[in-house]
């Protein structure tokens, strides 16, 4: 058992209001410079939709992530031979149009234009070429709130039941915030010929060494989530750094700190690095359970002893015990990985969304026949759609999580109205009253320190050689690309 520590983020999709405050705070801090105009390390997408960059989920087009090759894994994009042949040309890269050509407006013309008969205007111009753009064709959230549009929603590869967007009565929409997943088996690191991308041993954050990066852009192709960007000015790869300067001081990420809906939880997970490759080799329907099996109980004496042997401090072990992430991912099984079938073993998890609760009674509510709180089989967001995004197509995993969320709503509504609660509904979902109250507090009343349990780094306690060794494991050890 090779115990490692990973800093992890969980997103509650039921609470995201799509305000993009997280994206703006990230943009202002990390990518407000030349060459990074189109980089959105944190972005919020409207689902169903094509996402950002457009169609990033279509790995037949972009060849990202890993595929199972017999009893081992291989990069979907290319092996060592094709990597050498394509060193100066990347056939699977998103084009700038699939992001958007970064633009600004010539505001100086409004004040500096010569006197004339016409009102001066601020024309759009490309921040890359400097040339005028006659018609803007895209932006970072171009399809924001257009979930009913046949142009965007119908092209979502997860939407198997196309008829649900054909009528107003069956349309649905949710927001999907995304950052780099800081995966346990990162395809970006394995694909880099320069070995510029590495995974930190002390907290699992995946970073790009700007001094080593040669700008080959294999990492952009290999990342199935398209969260590695190319700085066209510096010629270097850049990506979300999980706000490590903040995290090292025990503060949460800028996106989580600024989140209006308080949908984000940040904490520590302990996992068995020896099992990462085996977990990624599982069939699509088994991947979620394989993810959970990797996560270790921080209260287990054997786990704590192995963790200390690997240099994990007592402070980090205590944080792992109090981690809201462990509660949501492992203990209650509510938070699920984003597209586990890409086999990067992502370390960002999502609590699936529910249909809205009816606020009033009336004849205009079509869902009234199903009660104030809709039943699982009548939810507006199709279970198959959520399964395609969060469980590799495993509907049972999604249904288990949704049953717990629905039972929690029913239980707390009865409690708030001082009615007799239905303990049978909780029991059927695998919960009891104490568990329901814990989850209710975590979802609604939890303070900053309860939602974000981040131990500050004690780098003086870390063995430099051990930190370096801990960066590579699983498939990265075999390829020699771990740091």
CB 423 within 8 A of CB 237: no
- Rounded to a whole number, what is the distance in angstroms from the first to the last CA of the chain? 20
Domain 1-89+150-483 has CATH 3.30.300.30: no
Query: What would the pLDDT profile of 143-180 be if each residue is shown by its tens digit?
Result: 898 876 778 888 899 988 766 777 766 778 899 999 99
Please determine, for residue 271, whether its predicted confidence score (pLDDT) is greater than 60.
yes
Query: Helix 314-322 and helix 301-309: axis angle, to 10°?
Result: 140
Which DSSP state fits 1? Answer: -
Query: What would the pLDDT profile of 18-44 be if each residue is shown by its tens digit?
Result: 999 999 999 999 999 999 999 999 999
Give the range among 321-330, 378-387, 431-440 with minimum mean pLDDT.
378-387
CA triple 126-132-136, angle to 5 deg? 70
Question: Hey, what are 112's tokens?
Answer: 């500096």
Element at 468 (helix H, strand E): helix 464-469
Please determine, for residue 368, whether its predicted confidence score (pLDDT) is greater than 80.
no
CB 7 within 8 A of CB 268: yes
Domain ranges in the chain are: 1-89+150-483
Please determine, for residue 445, whether its predicted confidence score (pLDDT) is greater than 90.
yes
Residue count of the chain, please give it: 483
State percent of the chain over pLDDT 70: 88
Q: How far apart are CA 120 and CA 113, in angstroms?
A: 6
Other C-beta atoms closer than 10 Å to the C-beta of 458 total 13
Question: What are the φ and ψ backbone dihedral angles of 47, each rounded to 5 degrees?
Answer: -120, 140
Average confidence (pLDDT) over 78-88 = 64
State percent of the chain over pLDDT 90: 68
Query: Which among 180, 213, 210, 219 is positioned nearest to 90, based on CA atoms?
Result: 219
Q: Can you give the pTM of this predicted structure? A: 0.91
CB 348 within 8 A of CB 184: no
Query: What would the pLDDT profile of 127-150 be if each residue is shown by its tens digit?
Result: 999 999 999 989 988 889 887 677
Other C-beta atoms closer than 10 Å to the C-beta of 271 total 25
């Amino acid at each position: 058992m090779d115990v490692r520590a990973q800093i992890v983020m969980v997103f509650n999709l039921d609470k995201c209001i799509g305000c993009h405050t997280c994206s703006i705070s990230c943009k202002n801090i990390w990518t407000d410079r030349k060459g990074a105009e189109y980089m959105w390390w944190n972005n919020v997408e409207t689902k169903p939709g094509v996402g950002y960059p457009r169609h990033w989920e279509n790995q037949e087009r972009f060849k990202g992530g890993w595929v199972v090759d017999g009893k081992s894994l291989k990069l979907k994009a290319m092996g060592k031979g094709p990597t050498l042949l394509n060193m100066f040309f990347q056939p699977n890269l998103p084009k700038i149009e699939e992001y958007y050509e970064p633009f600004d407006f010539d505001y100086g013309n409004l004040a500096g234009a010569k006197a004339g008969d016409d009102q001066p205007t601020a024309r759009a111009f490309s921040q890359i070429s400097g040339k005028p753009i006659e018609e803007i064709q895209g932006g970072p959230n171009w399809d924001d709130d257009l979930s009913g549009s046949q142009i965007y929603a119908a092209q979502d590869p997860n939407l198997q039941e196309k008829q649900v967007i054909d009528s107003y009565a069956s349309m649905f929409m949710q927001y999907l915030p995304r950052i780099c997943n800081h995966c346990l088996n990162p395809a970006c690191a394995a694909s880099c010929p320069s070995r510029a991308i590495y995974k930190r041993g002390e907290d699992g954050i995946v970073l790009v060494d700007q001094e080593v990066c040669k700008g080959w852009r294999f990492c952009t192709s290999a990342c199935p989530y398209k969260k590695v960007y190319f700085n066209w000015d510096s010629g270097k790869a850049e990506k979300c750094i999980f706000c490590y300067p903040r995290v090292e001081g025990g503060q949460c990420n800028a996106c989580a700190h600024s989140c209006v809906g308080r949908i984000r939880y940040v904490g520590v997970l302990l996992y068995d690095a020896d099992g990462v490759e085996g977990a990624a080799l599982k069939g699509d329907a088994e991947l979620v359970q394989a993810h959970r099996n990797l996560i270790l109980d921080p209260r287990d004496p054997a786990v704590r002893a192995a963790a200390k042997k690997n240099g994990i401090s007592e402070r980090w072990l205590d944080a792992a015990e109090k981690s809201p992430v462990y509660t949501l991912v492992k203990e209650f099984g509510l938070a699920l990985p984003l597209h586990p079938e890409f086999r990067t073993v992502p370390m960002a998890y999502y609590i699936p969304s529910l249909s809205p609760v009816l606020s009033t009674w009336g004849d205009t509510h079509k869902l009234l026949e199903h009660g104030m709180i809709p039943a699982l089989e009548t939810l507006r967001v199709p279970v198959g759609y959520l399964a395609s995004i969060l469980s590799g197509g495993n509907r049972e995993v999604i249904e288990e999580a949704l049953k717990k969320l629905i039972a929690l709503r029913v239980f707390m509504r009865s409690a708030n109205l001082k009615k007799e609660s239905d303990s049978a509904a909780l029991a059927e979902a695998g919960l009891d009253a104490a568990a329901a109250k814990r989850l209710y507090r975590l979802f609604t009343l939890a303070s900053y320190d309860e939602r974000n349990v981040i131990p500050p780094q004690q780098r003086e306690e870390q063995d430099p050689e051990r930190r370096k060794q801990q960066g590579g494991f699983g498939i990265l050890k075999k390829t020699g690309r771990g740091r």
